[in-house]
Amino acid sequence: MTYDIRLIAPSGYPHDVPAVRRGVERLEAAGHRLSGLDVLDRRQLRFAGTDAERAGDLNALVDGPLPDVVLAIRGGYGVHPLLPLLDYEGLRRLATAPVALIGHSDFTALQCALLARSGVVTLGGPMLASDFGASRLDALTWDHVWHVLASDQAEVAWESPGTPAVAVEGTIWGGNLAMLTSLAGSPYFPEVDGGILYIEDVAEPPYRVERMLYHLIHAGVLTRQKALVLGDFTSYRVAEYDNGYDLPLAFDRVAAAAGIPFVAGLPFGHGPTKVTLPFGSAGRLEVSGGRARLVFAGHPRPKTP
């Protein structure tokens, strides 16, 4: 199945030009029709255009024909200044339209705002440059996103050794931990009770990860969830001063304080392999015998040709 894909650049500009070129070529070779290519050439400081230009890419979805997929080109930083500039009332049309907005990293901030202010469910998944344009295209990343877009019900399964049995249902949501924490308590943060929260991050040392998770506890967010699913936490370092304190210990400490199951091993984050997951739709998490399974439905899907 092929799709009309519109590129958006809500964050940083694409500094890796060969990766962008590979991503475009791979998507077009697969039969997809790309628009919004002009955003690839925009530069303003470290951003892919001015705040007004980048917000305009999103507000352009309010009127006129919609693509099947809206794909972020990369993350970095840049979404936060756009949040007050978005037409949330107009963007409510995306809540019922057959269009999927996909991205991760800084894109998580946009996902939070769209669900909180417009009721729009989005997808955490691959982006143009880092994933579709990788020097070596990851097969699971490529296959899973198209599986999710084409399926009424989708799932992901992974190994999570040592995890006690879990069987919970709730709203699946999450993404980059730093982005989630930065918006907690703001009008752009969704109120999700009894959810299944998934998180990931990059280059954050264990104490900072623990501090961010404690912030979600203190803000009353984490303790209201039914489970926390741990994705990839990559490119971090521990110091001599940590004295044996590492990321697994940090998670153990927070899990004891939160009082909810923590399930590790989800292939999602800043690594080369990532599944595509909903932000705001219903699902079920099951863990048995050290193997986890997340099943979901009601996620955004393009129309069937």
Q: Which residues are catalytic?
A: 105, 200, 270
CB 3 within 8 A of CB 302: yes
- Report the C-alpha gap between 267 and 287 in whole angstroms: 15
**Which residue in 156, 122, 152, 128 sits closest to 304, CA to CA?**
152
Radius of gyration of the chain (CA): 18
- Report the C-alpha gap between 5 and 155 in whole angstroms: 23
Residues listed for the chain: 305
CB burial of residue 20 (10 Å; 0-12, 13-18, 19+): buried
Q: From residue 114, give the alpha-carbon distance in Å to each of 82, 220, 233.
A: 12, 21, 25
- Report the C-alpha gap between 298 and 151 in whole angstroms: 10
